[in-house]
Every structure is written in C-alpha cells, then in structure tokens.
Amino acid sequence: MLKVLRKRKRSWIIFTVLGAIILVFIFWGIGSFRVDKSTIAARVNGKYITATEYAKMYQQQINYYRNIFKDQFNDELLEKMNLKQNTIQMLINTALQLQEAKRQGIAVSTEEIQKIIETVAAFQKDGVFNKEQYLQVLKANHILPGEYEQGVKDSLVIQKLHKNITDVISITDKEIEDKFASENKKVNLQYLTIDGARFEKNVSVTDEEAKTYFEKSKEALKELFKVPTRINAVYLSIPFKDYQPAVKVSEAELKEYYEKNLNEFQTQKEVSARHILIRPATDKTNHGPASGTSDMKKAKEEARKKTEEILSLARKGEDFAALAKKYSDDKASGIRGGSLGYFKHGEMVKTFEDAAFSLKKGEISAIVESEFGYHIIKVDDVKEARLIPFKEAKNTIEENLKKAGAKKLALDMASEIQKAVTSGKKELKDEALKKKLQVIETGPFSERDVKIELARNTELKKTAFSLKAGEIGGVVKTESGVYIIKILDRKNEHAPTYEEAASSVKTALAKEKVKEKAKEAADAVFKKLKQGEDIQKVALKEGYVIGESGFFAKAQGIIPIINIDVEDKADIFSLSKGSPYYSQPVRQGEKFYILKFKEGQEAQQTEFAAKKDEIKNSLLKQKQQEALDKWLNEIRSKAKIEINQGSM
C-alpha cells in the first residue's frame, strides 16, 4: 500500500500517465509531413502508418516494459512478447477506431479536453492544474502541447465510441448468481501420480534414432537448437576504484564544493507516520467505483462510521499499532502496526500528506479521506528541514570528489590506449602492458553466457556483439569502470547441423520417449479405474502415489499442491460420486495425474452479498470487453490492411 500511496514521479510513471493517449498522438504525428512511401510500416484503408511512427511507438513500448521488468527485461523476453507485431497491431486498431468514430460523427469539445488535462496529477501543483508544470512535463518527455492535446482528443473520441458499443450491455441477477455458484463451488480431489522419472532408466537413444528424429523434426528443432552468435574477445578493464587512492582533494576544494552546492546539503522536512485505512466495502477488492451511486454512498457512510469508532479507541489511549493490525484494510502496513516509515513532501497523495505534515510528534489526526478510503494518521517522528553543516558533510564530499577524479583518470587512460590501438595500428595487449594493465581473453561465448563479464553488462554486451571479427570498439563507460573491447573471432547465429546439436537432440528425444511411456502408463491405469478397479488397490499394486488436493474453488485458478490450471478444465467442478473421474489423465511437466472426485461443497450463500457487486463488475467488464473485441474484429475483417514487415 505504501507503494500505491507514494506519488510516482519517475519518467516511467509519466509514460503511464500519458500511456492511454500516447499511441494516438504518435500515430497521427501532429504537424503533418509528407509520407515517404519507401518507409511505410502499414496502410489502413489507405491511411499510412510510417516506419518512423511505428519506431517511436515501439520504443515507447520497450521503455515501458523495461521499467516494469527491470533487469529481467532482455532480448529473449522481448522476442517472447512479440512486441513488434503487437505494436503495429495497436497502431492499426487505433487507426481503425478513429476512422470509425469519424464515420459516426463522434466529436469532443475543447472543454472536455481541458477537463481531462486538468485532472492529470503530473500537471498539478498542490492539487490544482498548473500551466507551467504542464509545459515542463511535456518538454521533459519531448512532447509538444499541440501533439498532447490532439492525443487527448483522439483518446476521448475512442472512449465515446466504446461507450456507444458497451452502454447497451447489462448483467442480470441470474447471471450473477450463476457466476457466484460456479466460481465458489468447491471440490476435494484425489489424484494418482504417474511420474515420468520412473521410466528414465529404461529409456535409451541411439545415434541413428537421434539423427532420424533430427531430420524428421528439423524445422521445429531449428529454432529450439538454434546456435546463437558466439564471439571470442579480448578486453581491457579499468576499474574506477583502482584510481581513487591516487586522487587527492584539498580542504579548500572541499569547502569550495560545499559552498557552490549548498542545495545538495539542504534536507527536506520528513515525517514518520502510521495509519489505519478503512475502505468502503464495495471498494475493497478492485479499488474502483461501486456499481451504483446509492450503494457507494451507503458503503462510504458505513466505512466512515467504523473509522470514527476506531479513532475514538485511539484517542482513548489504545495502542495505535495494535488497532492498525486489527482493523486496517492496508494489510501491507497493517502487519507493521500501520507504519509507513519516513516520507517527504510530494511522496504521498495530497490529502494524506497535508494531514500528516500538520501534526506534531505523537499526535493523531482527525479522519482523512483520500481516493483509497478513510485514514487515521499518527505521527511517530518529525525531522525538520535543515542545512547539513560542512563538518558533517565533509567526508561525503571528499568521497564523491575522489570518485569523480578517479573516473576522469580512468577515462583519460582508456582514451589514450584506444587512440593508440586504432590510429597507430598497435595491439591492445601491448598498449595495456605498457600501462601495467591486464587484458582478459574471454574464449567463445554467446549473449546468454552470463559467467562472462561482457555478457552480464548491457552496454558491454551491446558493444561486443555489434563488432565484427578484428574490430576494436570505442571506450565503453559503465558504473564500475571503462572498457575497450576487441573481437578476435565471430560466428553468427545459424541453424544447427546434427553434429552441433547431437547432445541436445538426444536429450530432447529421451524426454519425448519418457513422456510417451508415462502417458501409456497413465492411459492404462485410467482404463482400469474407469472399468471399476479401486484406485487405492491399483496404486498400491503398481507403486504409484495417491494424494489429496483439499477443497478448492474455480476462483482459485489452480488445483492446490499439484498446481494444475483449472481455467480450461471447468468439468472438474461437475464431477460427482456417480461420475468421479476427470475425462483424461492430465500432464503437468514430467508427470501425469488421474483426477478423482472425493467430495464437494456448494457455494456458501452467506458469502453472496459480500461478493455480489464484485461479481457484477467483473461480469460487466468481461461482457463489455467481449463486445469490443467482437466489434473490432468485425471492422478489421472489412478493412483493407497492409503491413510492410520489412520496415520493422
């Protein structure tokens, strides 16, 4: 909850704020320009999407997902996400929707556009739209105001178009009741496990079999066993830390830096606080509006009344941390007694922040309402803003100046060596030895060989794999040091010969054989059980293991313990004593499971009232999305769409 409460001011959040409309103004490219037909990414009913427009949107998508996945974002994940095709399809869908909206005469007013812009938190100061802030945010993201405003306009047009399609959709009480019963009916299953591991010792693969398998499955295996690009490189690494002891900083330099950069040493006021959050009952699951105004009003009244009762207990001296653990709907902070730690101005939503910063140490607030619900805040500590004195800041300044000096020395050294080896045709190893530096030879490696330093660091990898055999790259600067890379040999990615893939092919074929034997065994056992044999006796006789899942509902998504997805296995919840077995053995990894009904529980009607609104909202969103998908597929089927794969 703390992460949700904190305002997000980093650049990737700006993308999120603008994300709903960013593809629109990228697509339309406000400010009109001539289309170079040799750089067309797609045509939609004669309307061009240029390669430039596509490239901008693709980069936005990459930046967005890189900020979500952080270090896990790599080329392999990018390929799995199929982001290139998804991006062009997004642009095509946007174009089609805007064309359809124009055909229907859908329009938005200037006032509607202004209203949306004024509600964007990134453009506000103290909760109010600020034109200067608006222009600064757009400038920081390389967006012209006209482009952004056109994007908002187009986004609103699409929203109105969607509303015309979805407004006719409604949900009946019967649909809600049926969904509740379906999602919350519980079953307890017995399962018999046939583990492929028991067949491994009986499986062998000959060279002849492996070659035949490889030839028959060559196309499918080509991608699976594709030999990645491999390079052999030598590189020079100059760590910044090695040069730090050589950097001397005088007292005068320290004082000069301090006096010129006083802002660095000015701390902001900080508050350490706890809170108790009570959300309206209809809002506890999806953080969205209730299904009706009267429902929401009633829920808010009840939530406020409960908050008043808890506030009364807190002001009477009951332990605030204990109250937070017991009552707070913010479970993440609740387990810590409601503690949110220290925070500064601008890190919390405004109503919460205003209340917290108005309190003294030990004080408890009145009820504070925010978009999340009702809060009671207690301030544990206050750190006033202050200027850190020079004496206190001195060691930090010295450390930072030494680091800066070390970076400069290392960069100068690397630049000198790089210049010598590129302009003077000298060897990297020889130049490094002159400076008493060590050159490392990697041996052949691919981008996935993370044991090699050049493959672990993004910038080093990018440089190394962009070079040809014999080439020397420029100086590469990383957080820890500078590098110069020379490629000794390079073998580009290629489809494997059998000899290159033999070991992997044999392993794959062995796994296939094991899977086949496990399936044969599972089918044989399943046949016996369907013919009436007792599951316990069969398991005991043939040495299989029987387990029990415990009660679970469809809403949980998986069968406990064995983690089998039930989304596409709704028939599991229709099993009974008279028809106890699921239709076939189910494979999960290297194992097959035979599923048998043991006992069931109907959905508890006492839980229906609490879940009714949530189910209604979920069903409504589902039906609306299905209607939009169907509509979009229909207009796509009638549209003339041409995609130039070469431009991507």
Q: Looking at residue 38, what is its pLDDT?
A: 52
pLDDT at res. 506:
93
What is the pLDDT at residue 138? 86
What stretch(es) of the chain map to CATH 1.10.4030.10?
2-168+629-647
Range(s) within the chain of domains with CATH label 3.10.50.40: 230-249+396-491, 269-384
Q: What is the dihedral of CA 574, 580, 583, 588, to 10 degrees?
A: 100
3 state DSSP class of 633: helix
pLDDT < 50 positions in the chain = 1-37, 283-292
Candidates 151, 161, 166; CA nearest to 17 is 151
Q: What is the spatial distance between Cα 440 and Cα 452, in angstroms, rounded to a whole number?
A: 11
CATH architecture of 230-249+396-491: Roll (3.10)
Backbone angles phi, psi at 473, to 5 degrees: -85, 170
Quick one: pLDDT at residue 129? 86
Q: How far apart are CA 118 and CA 107, in angstroms?
A: 19
Using DSSP's 3-state secondary structure scheme, residue 514 falls into: helix
Burial class (CB in 10 A: 0-12, 13-18, 19+), 567: exposed
> pTM for this structure?
0.51
Identify residue 402 by its one-letter amino acid code: K
Instruction: Provide long-range contacts, Cβ within 8 A and 24+ apart, for 61-66.
Output: 61/86, 61/87, 63/12, 63/15, 64/12, 64/15, 64/16, 64/19
Residue 607: per-residue pLDDT = 84
List pLDDT tens digits, range 165-205: 999 999 999 999 999 988 889 999 999 999 999 999 989 99
CATH entry, 269-384, from 3.20.20.70, 1.10.3720.10, 3.30.420.130, 3.10.50.40:
3.10.50.40
Homologous superfamily, domain 2-168+629-647? Porin chaperone SurA, peptide-binding domain (1.10.4030.10)
Instruction: Compute the Cα dihedral for 300, 306, 310, 311 and give only its sign.
Output: positive
pLDDT at position 293, please? 52
DSSP β-ladder status, 545-548 and 186-195? antiparallel
